[in-house]
């Protein structure tokens, strides 16, 4: 029998050569630090971002893509660490709904991320060592405020579109709420105006798995030769289940066995679904920082546009000029259609210009990342309509 | 005919939709409740540059509208109009949908609340063919405007022009204009004193506002 604990390999943490990532990076908040929601001023800080396509002369064709919890700025190119294809190549590229010949696509690694933007792995100027848990707790609004500084830096007054799925969709809603005059259209996909109790609960399991790993060491592991790989891998395994659907798991794996014809009467990965999850956990550890995972999940948990507006979500968008396209998927139980519908009701209450499509797909929450033809058709149609009104050729 | 044809001004709209479209002022804010495949919205968007939105109960209809660049959401005339603020639109349109709503009175009341004007079109159950069907053949009428057999019809609240006018009076809605559509598709203004209007009109189109 092989080792029963298939994810507990003696691996080190992710090897990310921050200084040599493709794309761009900019130092922001040097003159005026960004005052975070927790009250701490942050600055100067770095935002790493990637762009595709060209900004037109009127600067009217910029699209900000907001990435999800474990995403990054490498939307439409091979990932510099894993060499896998970009996470949204389905949607971004030549002839795709976000056509790089027509639009200027920007995607920035979020604040507290681990792909070049300042986060818990970055050097704390006060100590000369990585922040670890001394990094201030970040909110979705902090991420968006940092992106706004980037957009200002790029000289773009009004984004043609802000788009993203899951946590990306939360950022989209925060953009529309915080900077309505700087957003022409907004596409929150598989998102919600507030993180639900169930979602906070799943995040808590992930965080506890990381913090229960002795190698986590109170978040101070950067100078050690051990890494909380087991904890982070388990966190990823739990989260990954929530991104799928029961029917997709059944269809892909069923009860099929992994490389064997009968069960082995042990705790090795007998079932294919176990093997698949372990693989997801292990590969995730190679590219993601455990502390970043804690910080970003926390930011999602804190997100609640409703509570911030006297418990009336509509008050987040008074007289909004933004054109919205809200999208949900039938099999998504993490951010179910009911959440999108609540958002649409709120937008109706301010007579906003809103489209709302629920798409039949059995891929669960992750459907927004998959090849779903109806998602393509919806986005292409919505963007074409918006571009016509914005006067983009 | 596709939505693209309508946008390009090539295709003709359904007769009652054309009557409705002619009532809408250019550049206005429009909510089309029960917008179906989006034909009217596409026409109003292209020909009258309105700021148009749609509500449609069928998800397939919604997805097709959005894929054509129209601002449409999935929703129900009976339950979802209450969300909108008062005077949010210049026109709220309900074409060939009133008879399928659960509570037509409330729907019409909500329409004149959220819109400065409301436009309603519906099949006239007082149309002579409908009357003759029942009178002579003793069968539930199936006509062009009412194309369903009794057991599969979504139409649960059919009414005549006179019924509709009475209901408007009851809920405090003023009729600014009434237009009939004959079987031929010919449109004509409704004269309140017209003796045979309720016999001859296959469909009615009414422009309404709060009294």
Q: Is B66 on the interface with A (CB under 8 A)?
A: yes
Q: State the average pLDDT over residues A84-95.
A: 97
Task: Quote the CA–CA distance of A31 and A339 in Å, as a whole number.
Answer: 40
Q: What is the pLDDT of residues A37-57, one digit of tens each?
A: 999 999 999 999 999 999 999
pLDDT at B117 > cutoff 50? yes
Instruction: Return the pLDDT at A19.
Output: 83
Beta strands at B115-123 and B203-210: parallel, antiparallel or unpaired: antiparallel
Q: Is B62 on the interface with A (CB under 8 A)?
A: yes
Say how many C-beta atoms besides its own lie within 10 A of residue B71's C-beta: 26
Of A344, A345, A381, the CB nearest to B67: A381
Q: State the average pLDDT over residues A281-308.
A: 96
Say how many C-beta atoms besides its own lie within 10 A of residue B182's C-beta: 14
Kindly list the residues from chain B whose CB atom is less than 8 angstroms away from the CB atom of residue A388.
69
pLDDT level of residue B182 (50, 70, 90 thresholds): confident
Interface test with B, best of A319, A356, A360, A386 (most B CBs within 10 A): A356
pLDDT level of residue B187 (50, 70, 90 thresholds): confident
Tokens read off for A229: 């790989």
Instruction: Return the pLDDT at A11.
Output: 56
pLDDT at A180 > cutoff 50? yes
Tokens read off for A384: 């074409």
R_g of chain B, CA atoms, integer Å: 17
Q: Mind telling me how many Å the CA of A358 is from chain B's nearest CA?
A: 7
Task: Quote the CA–CA distance of A371 and A78 in Å, as a whole number.
Answer: 18
Q: Which of A250, A244, A217 is nearest to A231 (CA)?
A: A217
Q: Where do the structural domains in chain A lie, given as residue ranges?
A: 21-194+310-390, 199-299
- Inter-chain residue contact B73 with A354, CB threshold 8 Å: yes
* Residue A166 annotated to the active site: yes
Kindly list the residues from chain B whose CB atom is less than 8 angstroms away from the CB atom of residue A377.
63, 67
Residue of A nearest to B31 (CA): A351
Instruction: Return the pLDDT at A344.
Output: 97
Q: Where do the structural domains in chain B lie, given as residue ranges?
A: 3-210
Q: Is A216 on the interface with B (CB under 8 A)?
A: no
Is A121:A291 a contact under the CB 8 Å cutoff?
yes
pLDDT at B141 > cutoff 80? yes
Kindly list the residues from chain A whose CB atom is less than 8 angstroms away from the CB atom of residue B51.
353
Residue partners of B49: CB distance under 8 A and separation at least 6: B26, B27
Topology of the domain comprising B3-210: Rossmann fold (3.40.50)
Instruction: Return the pLDDT at A4.
Output: 44
Q: Which residue is it, tokens 């948990």?
A: A301
Is B108:B171 a contact under the CB 8 Å cutoff?
yes
- CA-to-CA separations, B20 to A104, A310, B12, B208, in angstroms, rounded: 40, 40, 13, 12
Tokens read off for A150: 């980037």
Top CATH class, A199-299: mainly alpha
Q: State the average pLDDT over residues B161-184.
A: 92
Count Cβ atoms within 10 A of the Cβ of residue B11 and give its class: 0-12 exposed, 13-18 middle, 19 or more buried. Answer: middle
Instruction: Return the pLDDT at B207.
Output: 96
Is A230:A284 a contact under the CB 8 Å cutoff?
no
- Inter-chain residue contact A351 with B88, CB threshold 8 Å: yes
Q: State the average pLDDT over residues B189-202.
A: 77
Is A306:A170 a contact under the CB 8 Å cutoff?
no
Q: State the average pLDDT over residues B139-144.
A: 85
Q: What is the pLDDT of residues A217-265, one digit of tens each?
A: 999 999 998 899 999 999 999 999 999 999 999 999 999 999 999 999 9
Tell me which of A19-23, A122-126, A165-169 is least confident.
A19-23
Of A353, A378, A388, the CB nearest to B71: A353
pLDDT level of residue A2 (50, 70, 90 thresholds): very low
Query: What ipTM was predicted for this assembly?
Result: 0.88
Instruction: Return the pLDDT at B194.
Output: 66
Tokens read off for A361: 């797909």
pLDDT level of residue A117 (50, 70, 90 thresholds): very high
Kindly list the residues from chain A whose CB atom is less than 8 angstroms away from the CB atom of residue B88.
351
Q: Which of B40, B97, B99 is nearest to B70 (CA)?
A: B40
pLDDT level of residue A3 (50, 70, 90 thresholds): very low
Q: Which of A319, A363, A317, A341 is nearest to A178 (CA)?
A: A317
- Inter-chain residue contact A380 with B74, CB threshold 8 Å: no
- Inter-chain residue contact A385 with B53, CB threshold 8 Å: no
Tokens read off for A106: 């920007």
CATH code for A21-194+310-390? 3.40.50.1820
| Active-site residue, from A112, A166, A245, A340 | A166
Of B69, B73, B75, the CB nearest to A381: B69
Q: What angle do CA A58, A64, A70 make, to 5 degrees?
A: 165
- Inter-chain residue contact A351 with B85, CB threshold 8 Å: yes
Instruction: Return the pLDDT at B211.
Output: 87
Q: State the average pLDDT over residues A336-352.
A: 96
- The beta-strand segments (E) located in A20-115 are 24-28, 34-35, 41-42, 45-52, 62-66, 92-93, 98-99, 104-108
- Inter-chain residue contact A353 with B88, CB threshold 8 Å: no
Compute CA A62 distance to the chain's CA centroid, rounded to the nearest angstrom. 19
What is Dmax (Cα atoms) for chain B?
Answer: 49
- Inter-chain residue contact B74 with A358, CB threshold 8 Å: yes
Q: State the average pLDDT over residues A199-225.
A: 96
- The beta-strand segments (E) located in A175-255 are 183-189
Tell me which of A49-58, A235-244, B164-173, B194-203 is least confident.
B194-203
Of B68, B74, B89, the CB nearest to A381: B68
* Residue A152 annotated to the active site: no
pLDDT level of residue B140 (50, 70, 90 thresholds): confident
- CA-to-CA separations, A260 to A5, A253, A267, B7, B165, in angstroms, rounded: 18, 14, 14, 60, 76
């Amino acid at each position: 029998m092989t080792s029963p604990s298939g994810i507990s390999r003696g691996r080190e943490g992710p090897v990310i050569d921050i200084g040599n990532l493709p794309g761009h990076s900019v130092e922001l908040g040097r003159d005026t630090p960004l005052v975070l929601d927790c009250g701490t001023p942050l600055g100067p800080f770095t935002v790493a971002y990637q762009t595709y396509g060209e900004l037109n002369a009127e600067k009217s064709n910029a699209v900000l893509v907001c990435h999800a919890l474990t995403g990054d700025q490498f939307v439409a190119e091979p990932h510099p660490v894993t060499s896998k294809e970009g996470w949204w190549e389905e949607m971004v590229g030549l002839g795709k709904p976000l056509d790089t010949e027509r639009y200027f696509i920007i995607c920035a690694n979020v604040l507290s991320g681990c792909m070049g933007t300042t986060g818990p792995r970055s050097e704390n100027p006060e100590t000369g060592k990585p922040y670890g848990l001394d990094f201030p707790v970040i909110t979705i609004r902090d991420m968006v405020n940092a992106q706004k500084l980037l957009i200002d830096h790029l000289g773009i007054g009004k984004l043609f579109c802000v788009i993203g799925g899951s946590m990306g969709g939360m950022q989209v809603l925060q953009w529309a709420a915080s900077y309505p005059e700087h957003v022409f259209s907004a596409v929150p996909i598989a998102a919600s105006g507030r993180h639900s109790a169930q979602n906070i609960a799943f995040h808590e399991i992930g965080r506890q798995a990381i913090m229960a790993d002795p190698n986590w060491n109170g978040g101070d592991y950067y100078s050690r030769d051990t890494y909380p790989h087991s904890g982070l891998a388990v966190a990823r395994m739990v989260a990954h289940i929530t991104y799928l659907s029961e029917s997709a798991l059944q269809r892909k794996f069923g009860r099929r066995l992994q490389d064997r014809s009968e069960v082995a009467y042990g705790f090795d990965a007998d079932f294919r679904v176990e093997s698949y999850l372990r693989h997801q956990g292990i590969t995730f550890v190679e590219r993601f920082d455990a502390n970043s995972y804690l910080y970003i999940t926390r930011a999602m948990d804190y997100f609640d546009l409703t509570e911030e507006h006297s418990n009336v979500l509509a008050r987040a968008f008074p007289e909004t000029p933004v054109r919205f396209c809200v999208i949900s998927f039938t099999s998504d139980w993490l951010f179910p259609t009911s959440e999108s519908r609540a958002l649409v009701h709120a937008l109706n209450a301010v007579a906003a210009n809103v489209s709302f499509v629920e798409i039949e797909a059995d891929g669960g929450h992750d459907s927004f990342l998959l090849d779903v033809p109806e998602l393509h058709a919806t986005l292409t149609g919505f963007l074409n309509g918006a571009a016509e009104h914005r006067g983009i050729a | 005919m596709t939505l693209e044809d309508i946008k390009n001004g090539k295709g003709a709209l359904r007769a009652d939709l054309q009557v409705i479209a002619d009532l809408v002022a250019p550049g206005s804010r429009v909510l089309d409740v029960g917008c179906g495949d989006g034909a009217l919205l596409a026409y109003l968007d292209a020909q009258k540059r309105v700021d148009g939105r749609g509500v449609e109960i069928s998800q397939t209809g919604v997805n097709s509208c959005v894929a054509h660049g129209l601002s449409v959401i999935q929703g129900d005339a009976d339950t979802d109009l209450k969300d909108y603020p008062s005077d949010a639109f210049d026109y709220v349109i309900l074409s060939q949908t009133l008879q399928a709503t659960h509570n037509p009175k409330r729907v019409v009341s909500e329409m004149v609340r959220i819109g400065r004007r409301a436009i309603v079109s519906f099949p006239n159950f007082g149309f002579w063919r409908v009357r003759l069907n029942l009178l002579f053949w003793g069968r539930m009428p199936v006509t062009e405007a009412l194309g369903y057999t009794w057991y599969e019809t979504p139409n649960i609240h059919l009414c005549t022009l006179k019924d509709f006018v009475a209901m408007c009076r009851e809920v405090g809605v003023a009729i600014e204009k009434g237009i009939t559509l004959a079987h031929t598709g010919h449109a004509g203004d409704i004269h309140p004193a017209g003796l045979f209007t309720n016999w001859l009109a296959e469909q009615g189109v009414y422009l309404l506002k709060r009294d």
